[in-house]
Amino acid sequence: MADWAGVYNFDTSENLNTRVRRLERGEQYLRAGQLVTPSGKYAGVPTSLLDGNKIDLTSQDLATKGSIPPFGVSGNFGYSATTTSISIFWDGTNASVKLAIIRADGSAVQVPTGSLTVSGLSAGTQYGFLPFWSVFNNCGIGWVKGDVGSPQFAFTSAARTVVNSIQQSYQGREPLSSGFLLISTPASGTGGGTGTGGGGGGTGGSCVRLGTDIQTLGSINYVTEHLPQTDWIHIQAEGYDRSLDCTPDHPLYCPERGKTKAEEFKTGDWIITDHGLRKLLEPRMFFRNCTKVKVKMPHGHLFWANGYLSNNVKLAESP
């Protein structure tokens, strides 16, 4: 022991005690029961970021750029509407299906059931809503603040921008709809229906991506409506030089099944194109903030969308 002590002179600035103190300065310690982070060049991971021996990506102390999205959402919203109000349901009533968040780790979170009524709206007008789930709040779902309504959760067409829709995916929020949940008040009387939960962009109908070549059968005149959209399916037929990007619920035509939603097509299915029947290559789902186009015709139902036979939206239908 004496020989060892002679090698390490504890009285010099480079001795072992100094090196131990350096380690101590770099280690977290408790002061009055609170964890103190040292001022050294290295530090341990804050305990608030740990879940056992794993880093917890849901911690409010985690600094991220963008949100950490869930794997998906099952279920759907239902709604009823008057000329001045919209009631949204996610409790299994009014055509709604209870919502559940399926996360990437395989876990599932049942969203507490409930409903929301927004008043102070105008008749015959389409509004958008941005519901989200906060992982730090087990009381109920949240809604991005809009520009109209009481409470102010409704977005008019002018306010349905990508900048506003991003708020649905802020850190700590998980979107419960793919972009704006779109619901219209009736021009008179009452109305009702369903809205999508996890996949469909908030509204149904014949919707293709902006820039799609549209040719109606019989050269029938048509009008279009442009709306935001996040979820898309890429359709490509074998031996055909044109492809189509459309919403998952866009109606295409299969000779065996007739009118079929794009999301229901499988690899090898036959699909009708303006060059005859073609076998479908693997449909591909992708996500991108873009614009969808609703095609509306006064009569007739069919049009070519980049050469793929599609079904229209009736001109009188509310968007």
Q: Which domains does the chain have, with CATH numbers?
A: 2-55 (no CATH), 72-196 (no CATH), 207-314 (2.170.16.10)
By mean pLDDT, which of 42-51, 153-162, 224-233, 303-312 is the weakest? Answer: 42-51
Write b or e for each residue in 126-150: b if 16 or more Cβ atoms lie within 10 A of its Cβ, otherwise e. Answer: bbbbbbbbebeeeeebbbbebebbe
Bridge partner residues of 258 (DSSP): 254
**Averaged pLDDT score across all residues of the chain:** 80
Q: Which residues neighbour 143 within 8 Å (Cβ) at sequence distance 6 or greater?
A: 116, 129, 130, 131, 132, 151, 153
pLDDT per residue as tens digits for the range 286-307: 877 778 888 888 777 799 999 9
- What are phi and psi for residue 245, nearest 5 degrees? -105, 125
Residue with tokens 């002679």: 6
pLDDT at 122 over 50: yes
| pLDDT at 202 exceeding the cut of 50 | no
Task: Quickly state the pLDDT bin for 149 (edges 50, 70, 90).
Answer: very high
Q: What is the arithmetic mean of pLDDT over 200-222?
A: 75
Cα–Cα separations (whole angstroms), residue 26 to 13, 29, 49, 191, 315: 18, 9, 18, 65, 70
Question: In the structure encoding, which two tokens stand for residue 278, read together?
Answer: 């073609």
Cα distances (Å, whole numbers) of residue 191 to 78, 80, 200, 258, 270: 11, 6, 21, 29, 37
Cβ partners under 8 Å of residue 88, min gap 6? 77, 78, 79, 115, 116, 117, 118, 129, 131, 181, 183, 195
Q: Among all chains, which residue has been given the structure tokens 């030089």?
A: 241
Cis peptide before 151 (omega within 30 of 0): yes
Q: Please check the confidence at residue 82 and state whether its pLDDT lies above 60.
A: yes
* CB distance 228 to 165 below 8 Å: yes
Residues in the chain: 319
DSSP string, 237-287: BTT-S-EEEE-TT-EEEETTTEEEEGGG--TT-EEEEBTEEEEB---EEEE
Question: What mean pLDDT do residues 159-178 have?
Answer: 85
Q: Are 123 and 95 in contact (CB under 8 A)?
A: no
How far is Cα 317 from Cα 246, in angstroms, rounded to an integer? 20
> Percent of the chain beyond pLDDT 90?
30
Nearest to 47 by CA among 63, 31, 33, 28: 28
Of 285, 284, 260, residue with least CA distance to 272: 260
Residue 206 burial class via C-beta count within 10 angstroms: exposed 0-12, middle 13-18, buried 19 and up? buried
Element (H, E) at 293: strand 284-297
Instruction: List the one residue out of 86, 315, 300 whose CA is nearest residue 195.
Output: 86
For the cut 50, the answer to whether the pLDDT of residue 38 exceeds it is yes
Which of the two residues, 52 and 301, has the higher pLDDT score? 301
How confident is the model over 109-115, as a mean pLDDT?
89
Sequential DSSP letters for 104-121: TTS-EEEPPP-EEEEBSP
Alpha-helix runs per DSSP H in the chain: 2-7, 16-25, 162-166
